[in-house]
Amino acid sequence: MLDHNKHYDNGDKVAAIKLLDSSLVVVIDEFGRTHSLKPVECDVFVSIASENRDEVWRAPKAVNYILNIVNCLIVFSYTC
């Protein structure tokens, strides 16, 4: 399911899907094309929460798939 809201800080449109669900990548791609988004105008935001400071994290295949289809930057947030 695609959830979308306004960004809490700047009011920009924010959409979210679960990382394990790549079925909506077509919807995201169509949105980007419809609004003529440039790669610097969107991103794939990945937030990681962990109790271990030295943990190695591997992104689900859906993230790579989305990045290949939707030409956006990837942004990571890591919280421990």
**What number of CA atoms fall less than 13 Å from residue 53's CA on the CB side?**
0
Kindly report, residue by residue over 30-75, the tens digit of the pLDDT: 877 888 888 788 888 888 887 877 778 887 777 888 888 888 888 8
Position 2 scores a pLDDT of 60
Position 79 scores a pLDDT of 81
Chain CA centroid to CA 9, Å: 17
The pTM of this model reads 0.60
DSSP string computed for 32-79: HHHTT--GGG-EEEEEEE-S-TT------HHHHHHHHHS--EEEEEEE
Domain ranges of the chain: 3-79
> Please, are residues 45 and 15 in contact by the beta-carbon 8 Å criterion?
no
